[in-house]
Amino acid sequence: MSLLAMGLGLHFILELCALAAMVFAGFRLGDSLWVRLLLGIALPVAAAAVWGIFRVPNDPGAATVAIPGPLRLLLEWTVFALAIGMLYLAGQPAWAMLFLAAVVIDYAIMHERVLRLLRVR
């Protein structure tokens, strides 16, 4: 298995973990049922939709809405940062730091993809 394939697999797993972290933390952060539903369901669904819709063409596959590479990286980093911040605020700092470390390792493995995205306008 190539390093790129491992990186893509890890990236996909981290995407799912980010959504799961938002669900977990969202239901712990809200004071009322409506806030918990908003944070625990609507926010992860919106994040998944944005992640899937706004893409760089052929990264891998077709883009529903094509965006520049730097904007795609910003979107990814925002989703990951949101998940990490929500875990921390939900009283799970160790999980937040572990997730942050996994994201940093993933982007280190995928450094060629990051450089390519930075060049795609």
Closest C-alpha to 114, from 63, 58, 70, 84: 70
Which residues form the domain of 91? 3-119
| DSSP one-letter code for 55 | E
CB 7 within 8 A of CB 109: yes
- Assess whether pLDDT exceeds 90 at residue 77: yes
21-57: pLDDT as tens digits: 999 999 999 889 999 999 999 999 999 999 989 998 8
Looking at the structure of the chain, the number of domains it has is 1
Give me the residue label for tokens 């938002």: 22
